[in-house]
Amino acid sequence: MRDPVDVLFTDLDGTLLDHYTYRPGPALPALRRLLRAGVLVLPATAKTLAEVREIGAELGLADGAIVENGAAVAPPGGLAGELTVLGTPYQVVREALAGAAADAGVRVRGYGDMTAEEVAAETGLSLPEAVRARSRQWSETFLVTEGDPAALAAALRRRGLRTVRGARFLTAMGDHDKGEAARLVLRRLRRDGRAVRSWAVGDAANDAELLAAVDHPMLVRAGHGGWADLDLPGLVRLDGVGPAGWALIPELMLR
Ligand SMILES: [Mg+2]
């Protein structure tokens, strides 16, 4: 009988990485402790595969990842190898976005309409970061330059796509989420009868599906200092903003 395996799914922006600096800060020693103890740590993020590969190489995360809001699951092993895709191909999303914009009488400008230099200028990312952010495979990030974003979201829904709203940008994608992808990972780990203890940590309402998919959901404090307005059975509210809250995870997981 093999030992049970502990899995931790972690959101990146505002959770493992600081909302403003994009650095793990005090979470880094905690992450190292978990990895040394044999915990599988999988990013579950809106970021692209190229972005997660870069961050994963830097932080020593090689257990796999959930990218583009659950559009794909990258397997372990340097996040290379075969992907499991739950998302809608990028060109299909782009075409549906153009159609929905026409339906709603809205003008949009997506990453696919911008050069990497323009994405860098719009977002404050460095040029290499903008190249990775722009390498989307199953979702399109865009600005509404004219018209009503709510009308656009309704038109996208009629075409079978979801819209996720960030601070400035919106993202259009197929009907998938981080929670569905996490359940797929957990089913795989349990396939040969192995006992799996599942944990997840996030900072925002868009992590709700992810947190609902695990036995032990956790929230760090959000950038404004409070916790996201979520209620789930057994939810643990970590007392620190982003990485400062993340740093408390080993006390819970390794006791
Ligand atoms: Mg977040």
Find the largest Cα–Cα distance for the chain: 61
Q: Are 74 and 114 part of one and the same domain?
A: no
Q: Based on the fold, state whether residues 145 and 36 are members of the same structural domain.
A: no
User: Of 173, 195, 216, which residue is a domain's last?
Assistant: 173
What is the Å distance from ligand 1's center to 2 Cα?
34
Same domain (yes/no): 119, 158: yes
Domain assignment of residue 96, given as a range:
90-173
Asked if residue 157 and residue 143 are part of one domain, the reply reads: yes
For residue 78, the model assigns a pLDDT of 62
Distance 246 CA to ligand 1 centre (A): 12
User: Tokens 């495979």 belong to which residue?
Assistant: 137
Q: What is the mean pLDDT of each run of 10 residues along the chain (255 residues)?
A: 88 94 95 97 96 94 94 81 92 98 97 97 93 97 96 96 88 96 94 93 94 98 92 96 98 93
Residue 1 has a pLDDT of 58
Is residue 64 located within the same domain as residue 182?
Answer: yes
- Whole-number pLDDT of residue 80: 65
Output the CA 113–ligand 1 centroid distance in Å: 26
Choose the final residue of a domain: 173, 203, 225: 173
Examine the domain organization and report whether 197 and 80 are in the same domain: yes
Please tell me the distance between residue 103's alpha carbon and the centre of ligand 1 in angstroms.
Answer: 31
Residue 20: per-residue pLDDT: 86
Report the CATH number at residue 207. Answer: 3.40.50.1000
Question: Residue 16 Cα, ligand 1 centroid: separation in angstroms?
Answer: 8
Secondary structure letter of residue 82 according to DSSP: P
Q: In angstroms, what is the span from residue 47 Cα to ligand 1's centroid?
A: 10
Q: How many distinct structural domains can be found in the chain?
A: 2
The pLDDT of residue 225: 87
CA 23 to CA 6: how far, in whole Å?
A: 25
Q: Of 173, 204, 224, which marks where a domain is finished? A: 173
In terms of domains, do 169 and 181 share one? no
Instruction: Express each pLDDT in 32-84 by its tens digit.
Output: 999 999 999 999 999 999 999 999 999 999 999 999 999 999 988 766 678 99
Cα of 12 vs centre of ligand 1, distance in Å, is 6
CATH number of the domain within which 161 lies: 3.30.980.20
Residues 78 and 186 in one domain: yes
* Secondary structure (DSSP) of 108-167: EEEGGGS-HHHHHHHH---HHHHHHHH--SSEEEEEEEES-HHHHHHHHHHTT-EEEE-S
Residues 72, 136: one domain? no
Same domain, 73 and 142: no
Q: How far apart are CA 123 and CA 252, in angstroms?
A: 36
Predicted local distance difference test score (pLDDT) of residue 96: 97
Same domain, 135 and 78: no
Task: Give me ligand 1 centre to Cα 153, in Å.
Answer: 21
